Amino acid sequence: MLGRTANGLYWMFRYIERAENIARLVDAGLRVSLTRAGSSDEDWHGVLESAGVRETYSEVHAELTAADAIDYLLRDQSNPSSVMSCIEFGRNNARMVRTALTRETWEATNECWIDLKARLSRKLKPADLPELIDVIKHRCGLIRGAFHGSMLRNDLYNFSRIGTFIERADNTSRILDVKYYVLLPSVSQVGSALDNFQWESILRSVSAQRSYGWVYDGEYQAANIADFLILKVQMPRSLAYCYEKIVSNLGYIAEDYGERLKAHETADAIRSTLKRGTITDIMDQGLHEFLEDFVSRNNQLSAEITEGYRFYQ
């Protein structure tokens, strides 16, 4: 397989994953503004922060309003992380690696692009948002489904999966990091209405408000939420789950190629941190510091994969 093809698949799936995550963040943001009395446009501050676009937003918009924030996150093409940009980049990568994709996967990606391009070309009306967000999740789900149902389980598959999980781990850690202060025991008033709100919005941004309930009997507790998103290996958006997958997908490639690279050591090390760690240790060490460190190691792994498998040169 060409290095460029591996790169294209990796980024195609990173972008599709990112598009879906941004849609979830907007969904969570909308939910907060609907259910919380006295909510203000300022609530979107955290959403922009989680999406990693707080600064670029203020370059385009002088004020923070819900409508502008939503527009910026979903359809503004000057925002490289907007859903529209992600779908556009994802599909461009898919076009580039078209010969590596099954027809089903390509068509699902192309149709996703056609549909969302049409929907996101017009100004958004608040009443249309719930449906739009569903469509984004639905379209991304179709791509994933077509991919799972039809792709050969070879290196093409593994590079695609690694892209998905590197991106997902990055997104989950960012969501947590933006809200880390509400998870700190010292400042949080356990059980207060404010906290419940914040926590629910975290869970909603990772589509886990129900599964959390199954695992922790429905009780919102800061440590449990952090545990769920960081260490719970059954939770498909947790850091631990992402690293189980990354290690195994990288492992298949090593087996196939008969060679282990630096990236394998790095991934193993991150996984074992997540496997051995307890949430008490992490909280004691400092949640923010832990997450910051994680994001940078995750980026390092991405760079090592890129280099080790000759994505660019």
Partner 1 sequence: MAFDEMLTAESHPRLPYKTYHEWYTNQDAAHLIRKTQDAENIFRKTGITFAVYGHADSSEKLIPFDIIPRIISAREWRKLAQGIEQRVLALNAFLDDIYHKQEIIKAGRIPRELIEKNSAFLPQMIGFKPPGGVYTHIVGTDIVRTGEDQFYVLEDNARTPSGVSYMLENRETMMQMFPELFTLNKVQRVEDYPRLLRQSLASLAPPGCKGKPRVAVLTPGIYNSAYYEHSFLADQMGVELVEGGDLRVIDGRVKMRTTRGYEAIDVLYRRVDDDFLDPLTFRPESALGVPGIMDVYRAGNITIANAPGTGISDDKAIYSYMPEIVEFYTGRKAMLENVPTWRCSEPASLKYVLEHIEELVIKEVHGSGGYGMLVGPTATKKERAEFAEKLAAKPNNYIAQPTLALSTVPIFVNKGIAPRHVDLRPYVLVSDKVQIIPGGLTRVALKQGSLVVNSSQGGGTKDTWVLED
Minimum distance, C-beta of residue 165 to partner 1, in the bound complex (Å): 18
Q: Which is nearer to partner 1, 57 or 159 (CB)?
A: 159
Q: Which is nearer to partner 1, 94 or 208 (CB)?
A: 94
Q: Which is nearer to partner 1, 115 or 268 (CB)?
A: 115
Quote the CA–CA distance of 54 and 67 in Å, as a whole number: 15
Minimum distance, C-beta of residue 311 to partner 1, in the bound complex (Å): 8
Minimum distance, C-beta of residue 99 to partner 1, in the bound complex (Å): 4
DSSP calls for 226-272: HHHHHT-TTSTTSHHHHHHHHHHHHHHHHHHHT---HHHHHHHHHHH
Query: Which residues are CB-neighbours of 19 under 8 A, at least 6 positions away?
Result: 83, 86, 87, 90, 136, 140
User: Which parts of this chain interact with partner 1 (CB under 8 A)?
Assistant: 1-4, 6, 92, 95-96, 98-99, 103, 106-107, 110-111, 114, 155, 159, 253, 257, 309-310, 313
Indicate left, alpha or beta for 79 from its phi (over 0: left) and psi (-120 to 50: alpha): beta
Minimum distance, C-beta of residue 6 to partner 1, in the bound complex (Å): 5
Q: How many CB atoms lie within 10 A of CB 124?
A: 15
DSSP calls for 259-295: ---HHHHHHHHHHHHHHH--HHHHHHH-HHHHHHHHH
Q: Which is nearer to partner 1, 6 or 140 (CB)?
A: 6
Quote the CA–CA distance of 134 and 273 in Å, as a whole number: 35
Minimum distance, C-beta of residue 92 to partner 1, in the bound complex (Å): 6
Q: Which is nearer to partner 1, 111 or 304 (CB)?
A: 111
Q: Which is nearer to partner 1, 23 or 101 (CB)?
A: 101
Quote the CA–CA distance of 283 and 120 in Å, as a whole number: 41
Minimum distance, C-beta of residue 156 to partner 1, in the bound complex (Å): 10
